[in-house]
Amino acid sequence: MRFQQLLHVRRLASAGATTLMRRPITTTTITTTRRTALAATYPAFATTVRTMAGSGAPIPELTEITDNVQRGNYATLTDKDVAHFEQLLGKNFVLTEDLEGYNICFLKRIRGNSKLVLKPGSTEEVAAIMKYCNERRLAVVPQGGNTGLVGGSVPICDEIVLSLARLNKVLSVDEVTGIAVVEAGCILENFDQRAREVGLTVPLDLGAKASCHIGGNVSTNAGGVRVVRYGNLHGSVLGVEAVLATGQVLDLMSNFKKDNTGYHMKHLFIGSEGTLGVVTKLSMLCPHSSRAVNVAFIGLNSFDDVLKTFVSAKRNLGEILSSCELIDERALNTALEQFKFLNSPISGFPFYMLIETSGSNGDHDEEKINQFIGDGMERGEIQDGTVTGDPGKVQEIWKIREMVPLGLIEKSFCFKYDISLPLRDFYNIVDVMRERCGPLATVVCGYGHLGDSNLHLNVSCEQFNDEIYKRVEPFVYEYTSKLKGSISAEHGIGFLKKDYLHYSKDPVAIGYMREMKKLLDPNSILNPYKVLN
Amino acid sequence: MEDYKFLFKIVLVGNAGVGKTCLVRRFTQGLFPPGQGATIGVDFMIKKVEVEGEKIKLQIWDTAGQERFRSSTQSYYRSAHALILVYDISCQPTFDCLPDWLREIQEYANSKVLKILVGNKTDRDDREIPTQIGEEFAKQHDMYFLETSAKEAENVERLFYEIAAELIGQARSKDGSSSAAAAAAQRQSEGSSIGLGSFSAKAAQSNCCGGLASGGSNSSQGG
């Protein structure tokens, strides 16, 4: 097992060395609204290209081989199967060539070997595909925008890729109730634009906005930078329609906030990463978009001051607080070193916070945030910073936060962890890890969604090596587990973390997960090799 | 705040490019940032100084010049103890805008706020506004006056230390006397001549200011 993991991570080294911005090909981690501002200044940002083998980056080895994956007991695709699908969907929507963009994951860590991509145009077609595959014992991987970070959306062996890309319509947006009904393959940003046309917004915002699908977001219970304000998708999603592995359509759509009738089965499809069913449609409660947005970028001298400032933000900005992000000195400096166009308004502090407010009255909000800053300075917690309500400048500040993860993978190999930890112990792991790695690591840093207790712990080194790997894992999972944290706060389990699930879920729970999987997908054809091992 | 007897909030305003950020960075960090870009928003920082034996904290808010005349309340004016209005002595338009800034200050700031007019960039040899013109404008509008060069570090420390000293004086007069209100009222009514006179007089006594400057560099700013 360890050998498998080693190989696995080793490939990440080449992925890390080939990412982003070295070529005029950027990934999807910058939202379009923000990218527009970036593109004006930096032409490299103007194009968004999905991670594809054609990008010129080295193609990883087949995961089946590098990770020594035992292929499940599934049938092998035949010409007859392809002909069946062509008849079902039409030839244009059955792809058998140039499939690398579907086979390789966003980080270029995983490469499957699928020979077939299906692009159904309706729930009925999805159902017909699943029914056929279930009868034939053909394995299937549902795929949205393929922006996941744990290898959940790509085939591991030769699973058929079921792309939801054609199910991309926003079916309705009700400005009175705030409820929108949307198909799974709608790109998050397009969905948000439609919502904004009637003064609403999608309660989810994340870096991959311009290419991720709302169905994928729901299937992975994606987090992002607004969870502190709007909660996670278990609250926002009112209903889903899912196609089960058997081809049955499970209609759990609801247009009401309140619906206590029976078991709340929709939640099974939020965050189960396509292993229990294929989400084809959903309804979402969209809040009204905020007229006034202010952002403060703050320098602090200690993590203790960070916590005090967080508490103060909750207390004094609670009703308008829409983001509360932490960036440590090393994370910021790495981004500033890698991207010379970035300007930080302040420097020389061990910690930085990005605090955003969104409200309905600019004057009131500005007064609240200025008061919050003034009080923080008076208590000596806030040392230095900048605050703005100008939309262009708000984006300038967000740009700093968004470039942080990219800076770390620009020129190094990077071990990336996405963990939830109790806030009191939130940052200790970064120092502990730095000490453990010593000179083996070039950068050990932390940033992330402080408001959600979600830390992105990063360990960079010049290139992958066994010595540092053994110091990092499984220590990071053991440490997180001891603090009752989560080993995957928002990225999910997918393929990459399935061996570590037990660090965050007890055996009884995992046992019932297996039972549920068996009940809903008796032949285990849906997204195999993921979540459960 | 435990070690600090006073905390004063100072806000800098004025047109874009007059050198507000450079004045602040020179004072708080002792440096003159070359090729300084436009300030993103409103920068805020803390500078700890010692004046007349008192440890004080200055909370400095450096506004972005181009954000002027916004319709919002400019809430950072409201609780300011001192407002520094900056123009560039080599750029007439920045001086011509001063009445606009004063209107904004009048609208949003506390009427008793300490106002200081600063003509910055005395290092430049293409001066357009003679010292006397700036001085007269300040006198007319009940403001203190000082010319500075952030680049040459000229009068920058003096500017902030004088403000601190003046604010300490005000605070003490309020604390120490039961007729604080009367004293404040008197200060107001006597207006510019006393205010300006005392500030200018202090500014002229370089020994006094030098002493203050050297004694007050216990900054924790900038790390």
Task: Report the chain B residue with the minimal C-alpha distance to residue A377.
Answer: B46
- What Cα–Cα distance (Å) separates residue A177 from each residue in A183, A240, A256, A308, A455? 19, 17, 9, 37, 35
Residue B163's domain is classified under what CATH number? 3.40.50.300
- For an interface test with B, the pick among A347, A357, A365, A377 (most B C-beta atoms closer than 10 Å) comes out as A377
The number of C-beta contacts closer than 8 angstroms across A and B is 84
Q: Locate A118 and state its tokens.
A: 């299906």
**Looking at residues B32-60, what average pLDDT do you find?**
84
**Chain B contact present for A362, CB below 8 A:** yes
Best CA proximity match to A427, nearest among A296, A301, A304, A300: A304
Helix axes A123-136, A79-89, angle to 10 degrees: 160
- Side chain identity at residue A167, one-letter code: L
Give the closest of A367, A377, A382 to B75, CB-based: A367
- Three-class secondary structure of residue A168 per DSSP: coil
- Answer whether A370 sits within 8 Å of B1, measured CB to CB: no
Taking the C-alpha atoms of A81, A84, A88 and A94 in order, what is their torsion angle to the nearest 10 degrees? 50
Residues with Cβ within 8 Å of A40's Cβ and at least 6 positions away in sequence, in order, are none
Residue A355 phi/psi, 5-degree rounding, is -120, 125
Pairing of strands A117-118, A160-163: parallel
Q: What is the pLDDT of residue B219?
A: 38
Compute the distance between CA of residue A195 and CA of residue A185 in angstroms, rounded to an integer.
Answer: 16
Residues with Cβ within 8 Å of A218's Cβ and at least 6 positions away in sequence, in order, are A184, A233, A237, A240, A269, A270, A279, A282
Strand partners, A326: A353, A448
Q: What is the pLDDT of residue A165?
A: 98
- Answer whether B59 sits within 8 Å of A377, measured CB to CB: yes
B194 within some domain: no
Domain ranges of chain A: 170-285, 292-483
- For an interface test with A, the pick among B4, B6, B40, B45 (most A C-beta atoms closer than 10 Å) comes out as B40
- What Cα–Cα distance (Å) separates residue A224 from each residue in A31, A244, A418, A490? 12, 28, 12, 8
Tell me the nearest-neighbour CA distance from A502 into chain B, angstroms. 43
Chain A contact set for B222 (CB, 8 A): 348, 384
Pairing of strands B54-62, B6-14: parallel
Q: What is the pLDDT of residue A15?
A: 34
Q: What is the pLDDT of residue B108?
A: 86
Residue-wise pLDDT tens digits, B156-184: 999 999 999 999 998 888 765 444 444 44
pTM reported for the whole predicted model: 0.79
The percent of residues above 70 in pLDDT, for chain B, comes to 71
Give the closest of A366, A367, A396 to B40, CB-based: A396
Selected residues 156-185 of chain A with any CB under 8 Å from a CB in chain B: none
- Answer whether B41 sits within 8 Å of A389, measured CB to CB: yes
**Chain B contact present for A367, CB below 8 A:** yes
Q: How far apart are the first and last CA of chain A?
A: 12
Average predicted confidence (pLDDT) for chain B: 77
- Answer whether B59 sits within 8 Å of A378, measured CB to CB: yes
- What Cα–Cα distance (Å) separates residue A77 from each residue in A115, A164, A246, A404, A528? 8, 20, 18, 43, 16
- For an interface test with A, the pick among B25, B68, B72, B77 (most A C-beta atoms closer than 10 Å) comes out as B72
Q: What is the pLDDT of residue A24?
A: 32
**Looking at residues B27-36, what average pLDDT do you find?**
81
- Answer whether B42 sits within 8 Å of A388, measured CB to CB: yes
**Chain B contact present for A373, CB below 8 A:** yes
- For an interface test with B, the pick among A349, A354, A388, A394 (most B C-beta atoms closer than 10 Å) comes out as A388
Question: With bands split at pLDDT 50, 70 and 90, how would you rate the model's confidence at B95?
Answer: very high
Beta carbons of A236 and A230 less than 8 angstroms apart: yes
Best CA proximity match to A328, nearest among A482, A478, A464, A433: A433
- Side chain identity at residue A461, one-letter code: C
Compute the distance between CA of residue A58 and CA of residue A17 in angstroms, rounded to an integer.
Answer: 9
Beta carbons of A146 and A193 less than 8 angstroms apart: no
Q: Locate A131 and state its tokens.
A: 């029914």
Residue-wise pLDDT tens digits, B177-209: 444 444 444 444 443 333 333 454 333 333 333
B65 within some domain: yes
Best CA proximity match to A300, nearest among A253, A351, A335, A370: A351
Selected residues 290-319 of chain A with any CB under 8 Å from a CB in chain B: 295, 301
CA-based angle A27:A33:A36, to the nearest 5? Answer: 75
pLDDT of residue B59 exceeding 80, the answer is: yes
**Chain B contact present for A396, CB below 8 A:** yes
Tell me the nearest-neighbour CA distance from B73 into chain A, angstroms. 6
Q: What is the pLDDT of residue B175?
A: 66
Residues with Cβ within 8 Å of A134's Cβ and at least 6 positions away in sequence, in order, are A245, A246, A247, A523, A525
Best CA proximity match to A530, nearest among A106, A219, A138, A75: A219
- Side chain identity at residue B37, one-letter code: G
Residue B30, classified by CB atoms within 10 Å of its CB into exposed (0-12), middle (13-18) or buried (19+), is middle
Q: Locate A53 and state its tokens.
A: 């083998």
**Chain A contact present for B222, CB below 8 A:** yes
- Answer whether A373 sits within 8 Å of B72, measured CB to CB: no
Chain A contact set for B75 (CB, 8 A): 363, 366-367, 370-371
**Chain A contact present for B68, CB below 8 A:** no
Compute the distance between CA of residue A14 and CA of residue A58 in angstroms, rounded to an integer.
Answer: 7
Q: Locate A78 and state its tokens.
A: 């035949």
**Chain B contact present for A361, CB below 8 A:** no
Chain B contact set for A361 (CB, 8 A): none
Pairing of strands A321-328, A443-449: antiparallel
HEC per residue, A446-479: EEEEHHHCEEEEEEEECCCCHHHHHHHCCHHHHH
**Chain A contact present for B72, CB below 8 A:** yes
HEC per residue, A267-278: HHHCCCCCCCCE
- Answer whether A363 sits within 8 Å of B42, measured CB to CB: no
Q: What is the pLDDT of residue A249?
A: 98
Domain carrying residue B72: 6-176
**Chain B contact present for A138, CB below 8 A:** no
- Answer whether A397 sits within 8 Å of B40, measured CB to CB: yes
Task: Report the chain A residue with the minimal C-alpha distance to residue B64.
Answer: A388
Give the DSSP H/E element, type plus range, for residue A252. Answer: strand A249-252
Q: Locate A190 and state its tokens.
A: 């397009």
Q: Can you name the CATH fold of A292-483?
A: Alpha-Beta Plaits (3.30.70)
Q: Locate A32 and state its tokens.
A: 């379009």
**Chain B contact present for A357, CB below 8 A:** no
Task: Report the chain B residue with the minimal C-alpha distance to residue A373.
Answer: B44
**Chain B contact present for A397, CB below 8 A:** yes
Q: What is the pLDDT of residue B207?
A: 35
B136 within some domain: yes
CATH class assigned to A170-285: alpha beta
Chain A contact set for B41 (CB, 8 A): 295, 345, 386-390, 393, 397
- Answer whether B43 sits within 8 Å of A301, measured CB to CB: no
- Three-class secondary structure of residue A414 per DSSP: strand
Compute the distance between CA of residue A214 and CA of residue A221 in angstroms, rounded to an integer.
Answer: 10
Q: What is the pLDDT of residue B2?
A: 55
Chain B contact set for A362 (CB, 8 A): 72
- For an interface test with B, the pick among A298, A357, A383 (most B C-beta atoms closer than 10 Å) comes out as A383
pLDDT in tens, chain A (533 residues): 333 333 333 333 333 332 322 233 333 333 333 333 333 333 333 333 233 322 234 678 999 998 999 999 999 999 999 999 999 999 999 999 999 999 999 878 899 999 999 999 999 999 999 999 999 999 999 999 999 989 999 999 999 999 999 999 999 999 999 999 999 999 999 999 999 999 999 999 988 899 999 999 999 999 988 999 999 999 999 999 999 999 999 999 988 888 899 999 999 999 999 999 999 999 999 999 998 999 999 999 999 999 999 999 999 998 999 999 999 999 999 999 999 999 888 889 999 999 999 999 888 898 899 999 999 998 999 999 999 888 888 988 999 998 998 888 777 888 889 999 999 889 999 999 999 999 999 999 999 999 999 999 999 988 878 899 899 989 999 999 999 999 999 999 999 999 999 999 999 999 999 999 999 999 999 999 999 98
B127 within some domain: yes
**Chain A contact present for B79, CB below 8 A:** yes
**Chain A contact present for B1, CB below 8 A:** yes
Tell me the nearest-neighbour CA distance from A360 into chain B, angstroms. 13
Tell me the nearest-neighbour CA distance from A189 into chain B, angstroms. 26
Compute the distance between CA of residue B119 and CA of residue B116 in angstroms, rounded to an integer.
Answer: 10
Number of domains in chain B: 1
B59 within some domain: yes
A40 versus B108: which is more confidently predicted?
Answer: B108
Q: DSSP character for A59? A: P
**Chain A contact present for B34, CB below 8 A:** no
Tell me the nearest-neighbour CA distance from A451 into chain B, angstroms. 23
Compute the distance between CA of residue B96 and CA of residue A444 in angstroms, rounded to an integer.
Answer: 52
